[in-house]
Amino acid sequence: MNLNFITALRSFFRHKSEADPAKPSLMVVEGVESVWSYHLAPSGAPFEALCGRRTMRTSIPLSAWGVRLDHIPEKWCSKCAALSDGQSR
């Protein structure tokens, strides 16, 4: 591997680990079992929600968590919401 790439990779992970460990950042993810079923997952790990469900990436920003729309039957996971207390949302 390219030495510059390895150095950059180490730097990236070092900065990630220096972030406030008490407040891991989160991202909105969509459940694979249902359309418009949203969960929360740690940033950088979009394939398993806090509640343990299998998920996939979505383009929904974290700031939209819990927003209700009239024309979409979206569901926001209450388990993920409860488990995210104390984490950066």
List the beta bridge partners of residue 54: 48
Judge whether 15 lies within some domain: no
Judge whether 12 lies within some domain: no
The 8-class DSSP code of residue 27 comes to E
Query: Can you tell me the distance from the alpha carbon of 11 to that of 47, in angstroms, rounded to the nearest whole number?
Result: 24
* 58, 72 contact by CB (below 8 A): no
Judge whether 51 lies within some domain: yes
pTM above 0.75, yes or no: no
Judge whether 11 lies within some domain: no
Judge whether 40 lies within some domain: yes
25-83 tens-digit pLDDT: 999 999 998 889 999 999 989 999 999 999 999 999 999 999 988 888 899 999 999 99
* 38, 74 contact by CB (below 8 A): yes
Structure tokens of 66? 């819990």
pLDDT interval class at 10 (50, 70, 90)? low
Judge whether 7 lies within some domain: no
Look up the domain containing 66 and give its range.
22-83
DSSP-H helix ranges across the chain: 3-18, 78-83
Judge whether 37 lies within some domain: yes
Specify the number of domains making up the chain: 1
